[in-house]
Structure 1
């Protein structure tokens, strides 16, 4: 109740000689009936003793009876009653509050008076629980329950529980599918894990702590309410006490001190109880003949302090941070109510009007700020809806390759980041938008997991096929029937490439076994052929002479003259044919000689590489050795994948320099590395195409 709304009261007679008994009798009659703005009479027959205090006591008892149910005492009961909300914890939203400036401040002061931890609730970091694993969610829940105040973590706990249950339900569905696939009966299915039991235990502890906290809070608030009502009754009775005025005044100051330390009370009682208290404080000052020295000192002190409060409130009207201004305004109102008494009547209306005017300015400025925020929130909502739509488009498509899924995973991750950076949305759609986003991402993850689950089954099937080929290769690696076995070995090498991927943990191991068996056989084959083939020895001697000739050739350094000469050496070398297996090192020497020759020419790197590689391709073709071709094919494929991975890594590294100028040496170095790798990738791919043409 604002001071300006209080009805004007009859001033005390200025005749100091008037009979004290007459004045006391008159004042007793005036205070025996509550003021109209304090108690509303619903009927003319309502008795004078039906005051606001009695009404509040009755209401407090009724509320106590209504809330008297015992909390759950077992984990199962706690989990079943999870959706029930404690009434003490409900906070009025901005939409619930009246638009009147003073009413809003009064509500805020009442709210803070009940829950002193309200300011701490928003200081806990809210993490991306959707992206956490079940283990990480349980650890986070345990940390919150152990380290934070139980009244400050409800939103966090609710979200963690929703995410954990969603992930666990997915796991249960997978296990159920496996159980039924293996022939199990659905009525016999049951699934639990130690992690789930740990989660339930921690969540039960949280429910117990929360129930105990609110049970104790309700008890403390009601006890404090009783204390304040008792103080009001004592305050009312002061005017009936026949004692020395100094003693009465000392008793009054003692009641004021007790009021300040009486503690928090239920917020719905706060403003009414304070108005009642303030009404009787003013009665004490205005209707009793206090010693004027005491009264004037109090009035002067209260006026000085209230003028300081008004001055600070007027300064706050210029504060750019409207939330900060409003929070401090709440403190000023609480000081006005709790710490200070009335002033002389002639100043009451004026100072309250000044305080109210400042309050209204801050309130209006805050409402304007909120209106601007709402406009921005609406724009943010549009962005988030658009992002959710893009994720849904991706989630609704069934991709059939690993590379496609990896690409879409990156796209969804980028969209998730955009969603989190898009800003707040209007409060009334916040939960709906968040749930829609999570469900869309979860749909994508379900489809992705289903793909890789099926792919894993296929990979194990491929593993069995490749193990069969390994067995064939190992059984035939020492065969003396080279004619039949060579065809067999070539066939299983061809079959190997057609089978597809196997689990990563088995890939290298079985490939090494298969490669070792094939190499062992073909090494024996080539050793035998080298002894029988004199032409290869003659080719070696010819290539040796040609190599010496290349080394001794003096190049002019002019590209137009020297390039045809080098190409001629390459063509001659290609037509000389194969060399013995144990003499094949000469191919490497020739390539080194070519490198030395090309270094003297100003040629494009790719062109140089491919000219030299033509020689190697010819050697592979002449050898008619499927093993060598397969090895080269595998080598080039591996180099292509490695180069792609390095390019991706370098491009990801650029994200760390997003806010760095492109002229920065480090940024330029990364860009140069990316371009070099891309050029090398083109060379690897072109080489691979030439090898493929050999099959």
Structure 2
């Protein structure tokens, strides 16, 4: 009877169940978060400050995160708008570095002060909580030692059981302990609880009542775990599941026959939640990798900059714009892991710092050399002004074109002085080329009669028919060429058309003749060159001579190679086919070389 009375004193309130079914399935609505976006910036700061000052610091993380998101979204938007307005007002000045843009969003200091207060109070809270958990761990370890002592207690079972109940009550009243000690602590406690029940050897009815009550409580937790396993909000589900596990650890043992079954049911629901959560994080890890690769690709683009190519102000400005676009692309890339962020962001910052450093070095060097460049530009202008009234038309035209080219290569100079010099250079060049234009117009009037003669002569040339007598036909065609030259130049605008027509006719007639190929090529070459001379294209003649010089060099190299190759046939007979072929090639190459030399001599004589 004494043991039965002890059993009746085990009350339901001994088992603390922290989670209700409603808490396990329904997310808590937070209207405050929804209203934050409606507040202006000052109201938002005041609201968050009040929250930090009055609310439990561990319960307001969601509100703080939402406030930070709203504040910095507004700050970034305002910054971009201000930057666009700033760019629109800037006037690019050659040789001067762009003015730095500075902007501070209003109330930034006030908002940061509130955030600093929040961090200090949050850190103080968790620091105090750590101390409290260490203190709680010591209390529970002492209770386990007290529980172990019950085994050797020399007192009535009822008194010992009351002592046991008191230990249970005090155990449950103690707060949280460090997570690292939680499992070991719980296993040790329940090990000694079971040893206590075995030691008491109380009647089966008392033990069965205790086991039955514990089984009911654990089945209730299993029901809640099954509901949590269906929850789509993984963070909420995991949080509730942790609380269910904490509640499970507070419930005593069940009968041996039920232990495995009820635990397996609870574990099945737990595994579902853990699998969903692990799958989610694995999938997110894949997106992290894609985002990380995208950020590294941006860094690679900055690494690939060829600084040797950035030799001009405009090129640096264009590259700076590319860097700014890459920075905007960086911001649009999704989240990555903390480790990946540290690696990629550190690389990005180092690369952009290196770019800015090289850019600053360029402009410092540019500024230091501007005086020298200005002196070069002044010398070019003075030369151009000295040539402005020259009557040596062809030579002066080429000289002025070269001066303009040298101007482009002379580098940057102070804008105001450089612009004034450019006006002088342009005026000098325009003056000369206007005179040249008038001179050409006067000449064209003189050449108009020649044009009429050549147009009439073309009809005679067009009427030529091959007589079959090659020697006579060659003389006739040569006569056409000599007569054409004697008629003189035609107006510049007509040169290309009429000379092209004549050359096409002459080339066609030579193609019809059965004559020495070398002689034919020589006549056709000279006819083409004379057409170029008629057009007044001095640069084209220089190009022809350069091509001939390159061809001559290549021909000589091939001839040397062939003459070296023939040494391999020193023991071969004269009728050896390969030897004959090499000798033929050598002769052909020599003839070609002599032909090229003759053409080069002709070109130099013009």
Global fold match (TM > 0.5) = no
Larger relative helix fraction: 2
- Taking structure 1 as the reference length, the TM-score comes to 0.36
Q: Does 1 or 2 have the higher relative contact order (CA < 8 Å, sep 6+)?
A: 2
- Taking structure 2 as the reference length, the TM-score comes to 0.40
